[in-house]
């Protein structure tokens, strides 16, 4: 049995591990070591990292149903917030480095290109999740309402994986794997609710 | 950002194109005395710079050879550079068939002994909204078409890339329906800008750039410039092309660079020139409007994109 304490103790290490890639890419970007098209590379890496972290939060939710791993849920908030951190970096790379704050162009891009639309909505849905992540907010909202808001993570994950799927030109294996995982986890969640209707009330 | 301007000289070890073209005693002699002379050819950019527009700057050898779309070697842009080491571009021949006087197979050496290799510095604009400036060596496609003697009924030219999954790991996966196919209208193929390239920066064509011989059509998106060509077919109807077959709502047969016709995934109004920080405006026909606009005067370019 892993205790809450076990997981809490791993937090500082996890924190550094998840933060590290962003520092590395920033360093590589500044020193000109991010390849031939560094802006594209930076944007891809940040976005992929964000999507993977979102999926990890979903996996944590499902794993926490296993008795011995129940306490793993204490890691979820940190990883979720890191997902938001990477999405913000990804989005600001797009706005600042890729399009140089050409707001009019960016608005057109968001409206006209489905893959950017998906990504943008996914980002918007993440904002309420990140901003209600403190203990205080949980208390203020009440756990039930808080939980309802946080179901937004499913549309966030699905839209983010679609954003990736549409972007890929030919070999869609990786985005399809991510979508598959998300759908399985969502089905697991639905199945769990349906099988215990009295708890859902 | 690091601008890689000095990366050209370390590639002396590459065989020089001249040796490849002549393949004779004379070239063997030349090769022994030439390594330093040709290194000069490579490091002295003035011979290419005189073909440059004032707004353009050559991309480095490293940029041109490590950032490629060549799905035969993998779908990531670094894959062609990393995965093309086992590809054998020699010996090579091109099969000529379809509506020609006599279908035949030309040895590449034979083709090269009948043409004049020249320097052509072209902008390359990828449909993914990035671009480069590349100093190619090659010859006009029209020269090969003359050798092929097409019938007057031939209105289109189709090109086919080699299929060698054992040497091209990307072909082991069905990302595209292999072999890769492309096509041009006859007048596009005969246009003096259209070349078959056999080298870049004075080196033989690197594997990742389409060794040993590839098409370069500078006013069209990069995917039209098919690589490692083994077959050229003359037809009276418009041929199917690979990307159009895969996603017809995204890629058309013509694929002319056009800032006014957007792609569902990329706005085509601007582009990132590799090595530059800010995007630039994309030019109509990639800046070759004067040379090619007349080809399309009766065509609705929003419909035939």
- Determine which of A170, A172, A175 to mutate to test the interface with B (most B C-beta atoms within 10 Å): A170
> In this structure, what CATH number is given to the domain that contains residue B233?
3.90.420.10
Cα nearest neighbour of B68 on chain A: A36
Secondary structure, 3-state, A26-65: HHHHHCCCCCCCHHHHHHHHHHHHHHHHHHHHHHHHHHCC
Assigned domain for B5 exists: no
CA A4, CA B97: separation in Å to the nearest integer? 73
Cα nearest neighbour of B1 on chain A: A32
Q: Which uninterrupted H or E stretch holds B152? A: none
Percentage of chain B modeled with pLDDT above 90: 75
The pLDDT of residue B43 is 60
CA B252, CA B182: separation in Å to the nearest integer? 11
As for the ipTM of the complex, it is: 0.86
Assigned domain for B106 exists: yes
Assigned domain for B35 exists: no
Contact A113 B267 (CB under 8 A): yes
Tell me the residue range of the domain where B193 lies. 45-292
| Residue A178 C-alpha, separation from nearest chain B C-alpha, in angstroms | 18
pLDDT, tens digit (0-9, with 9 covering 90-100), for B6-53? 333 333 333 333 444 333 444 444 444 334 334 434 567 778 887 788
The pLDDT of residue B8 is 36
pLDDT in tens, chain A (201 residues): 678 888 888 999 999 999 999 999 999 999 999 999 999 999 999 999 999 999 999 999 999 999 888 899 999 999 999 999 999 999 999 999 999 999 999 999 999 899 999 999 999 999 999 999 999 999 999 999 999 999 999 999 999 999 999 999 888 999 999 999 999 999 999 998 888 765 544
Query: How many C-alpha atoms does B103 have within 13 Å on its Cβ side?
Result: 9
Cα nearest neighbour of A36 on chain B: B63
pLDDT, tens digit (0-9, with 9 covering 90-100), for B41-100? 456 777 888 778 888 999 999 999 999 999 999 999 999 999 999 999 999 999 999 999
Residue B127 burial (CB < 10 Å; 0-12/13-18/19+)? buried
CA A124, CA A146: separation in Å to the nearest integer? 17
Residues A82 and A19 sit within 8 Å (Cβ to Cβ): yes
- Determine which of B172, B244, B261, B267 to mutate to test the interface with A (most A C-beta atoms within 10 Å): B267
Who contacts A60 (Cβ-Cβ below 8 Å, separation ≥6)? A72, A73, A75, A76, A79
Q: Which uninterrupted H or E stretch holds B214? A: strand B214-216
| Average pLDDT of the residues of chain B | 87
Contact A36 B274 (CB under 8 A): yes
Biggest CA-to-CA distance, chain B: 55
Task: Catalogue the long-range contacts made by B48-56 (C-beta closer than 8 Å, 24 or more residues apart).
Answer: B48/B119, B48/B121, B48/B135, B51/B119, B51/B120, B51/B121, B51/B135, B52/B121, B52/B133, B53/B287, B56/B121, B56/B123, B56/B133
Contact B274 A112 (CB under 8 A): no
Assigned domain for B18 exists: no
Instruction: Report the number of distinct structural domains present in chain B.
Output: 1
Assigned domain for B40 exists: no
Q: State if pTM tops 0.90.
A: no
Assigned domain for B155 exists: yes
Biggest CA-to-CA distance, chain A: 58
pLDDT, tens digit (0-9, with 9 covering 90-100), for B280-293? 999 999 999 999 99
Task: Confirm or reject contact between B75 and chain A (CB < 8 A).
Answer: yes
Cis preceding linkage at B288, omega within 30: no
Q: Which uninterrupted H or E stretch holds B134? A: strand B130-140
SS3 B280: strand
CA A92, CA A86: separation in Å to the nearest integer? 10
pLDDT, tens digit (0-9, with 9 covering 90-100), for A61-116? 999 999 888 899 999 999 999 999 999 999 999 999 999 999 999 999 999 899 99
Question: Which among A32, A108, A113 has CB closest to B1?
Answer: A32
Residues B243 and B250 sit within 8 Å (Cβ to Cβ): yes
Task: Confirm or reject contact between B163 and chain A (CB < 8 A).
Answer: no
* Residue bearing the bigger pLDDT, B51 or B101: B101
* Tally of CB atoms within 10 A around B173: 15
Residues B213 and B196 sit within 8 Å (Cβ to Cβ): yes
Report chain B residues whose CB lies below 8 A from the CB of A40: 130, 272
pLDDT at B2 over 80: no
- Among B89, B69, B123, smallest CA distance to B14 is for B89
At CB < 8 Å, which residues of chain A contact B? 31-33, 35-40, 98-100, 105, 108-109, 112-115, 166-171
Contact A170 B175 (CB under 8 A): yes
Report chain A residues whose CB lies below 8 A from the CB of B276: none
CA A106, CA A94: separation in Å to the nearest integer? 9
Name the DSSP class of B287.
Answer: G
Name the DSSP class of A93.
Answer: I
**CB contacts < 8 Å between A and B, how many?**
55
- Among B123, B143, B158, smallest CA distance to B276 is for B123
């Amino acid at each position: 049995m892993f205790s809450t304490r076990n997981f809490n103790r791993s937090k500082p290490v996890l924190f550094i591990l998840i933060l590290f890639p962003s520092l590395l890419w920033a360093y590589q970007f500044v020193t000109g070591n991010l390849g031939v098209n560094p802006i594209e590379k930076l944007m891809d890496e940040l976005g992929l990292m964000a999507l993977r972290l979102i999926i990890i939060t979903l996996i944590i939710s499902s794993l926490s149903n296993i008795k011995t791993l129940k306490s793993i849920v204490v890691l979820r908030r940190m990883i979720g917030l890191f997902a938001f951190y990477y999405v913000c970096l990804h989005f600001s790379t797009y706005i600042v480095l890729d399009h140089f704050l050409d707001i009019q162009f960016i608005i057109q891009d968001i409206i006209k290109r489905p893959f950017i639309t998906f990504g943008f909505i996914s980002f918007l849905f993440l904002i309420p999740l990140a901003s209600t992540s403190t203990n205080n907010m949980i208390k203020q909202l009440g756990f039930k309402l808080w939980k309802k808001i946080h179901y937004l993570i499913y549309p966030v994950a699905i839209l983010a994986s679609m954003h990736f799927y549409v972007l890929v030109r030919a070999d869609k294996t990786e985005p399809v794997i991510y979508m598959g995982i998300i759908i399985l986890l969502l089905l697991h969640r639905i199945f769990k609710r349906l099988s215990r209707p009295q708890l859902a009330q | 950002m690091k601008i890689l301007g000095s990366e050209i000289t370390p590639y002396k070890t590459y065989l020089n194109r001249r040796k490849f073209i002549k393949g004779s005693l004379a070239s063997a002699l030349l090769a022994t005395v030439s390594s330093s002379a040709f290194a000069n050819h490579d490091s002295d950019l003035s011979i290419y710079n005189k073909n440059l527009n004032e707004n353009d700057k050559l991309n480095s050898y490293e940029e041109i050879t490590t950032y490629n779309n060549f799905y035969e070697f993998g779908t990531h842009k670094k894959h062609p550079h990393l995965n093309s080491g086992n590809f054998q571009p020699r010996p090579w021949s091109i099969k000529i068939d379809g509506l020609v006087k006599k279908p035949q197979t030309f040895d590449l050496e034979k083709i090269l002994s009948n043409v004049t290799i020249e320097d052509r510095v072209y902008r390359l604009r990828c449909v993914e909204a990035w671009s480069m400036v590349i100093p190619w060596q090659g010859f006009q496609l029209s020269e090969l078409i003359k050798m092929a003697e097409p019938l007057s009924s031939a209105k289109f030219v189709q090109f086919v890339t080699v299929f060698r999954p054992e040497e091209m790991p990307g072909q082991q996966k069905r990302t595209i329906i292999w072999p890769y196919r492309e096509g041009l209208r006859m007048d596009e193929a005969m246009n003096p800008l259209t070349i078959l390239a056999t080298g870049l920066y004075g080196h033989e064509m690197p594997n990742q750039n389409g060794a040993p011989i590839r098409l370069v059509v500078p006013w069209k998106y990069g995917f039209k410039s098919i690589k490692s060509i083994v077959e050229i077919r003359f037809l009276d109807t418009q041929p199917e092309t690979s990307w159009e077959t895969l996603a017809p709502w995204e890629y058309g047969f013509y694929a002319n660079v056009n800032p006014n016709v957007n792609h569902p995934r990329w706005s085509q109004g601007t582009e990132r020139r590799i090595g530059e920080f800010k995007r630039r405006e994309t030019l109509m026909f990639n800046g070759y409007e004067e040379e090619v606009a007349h080809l399309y005067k009766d065509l609705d370019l929003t419909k035939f994109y």
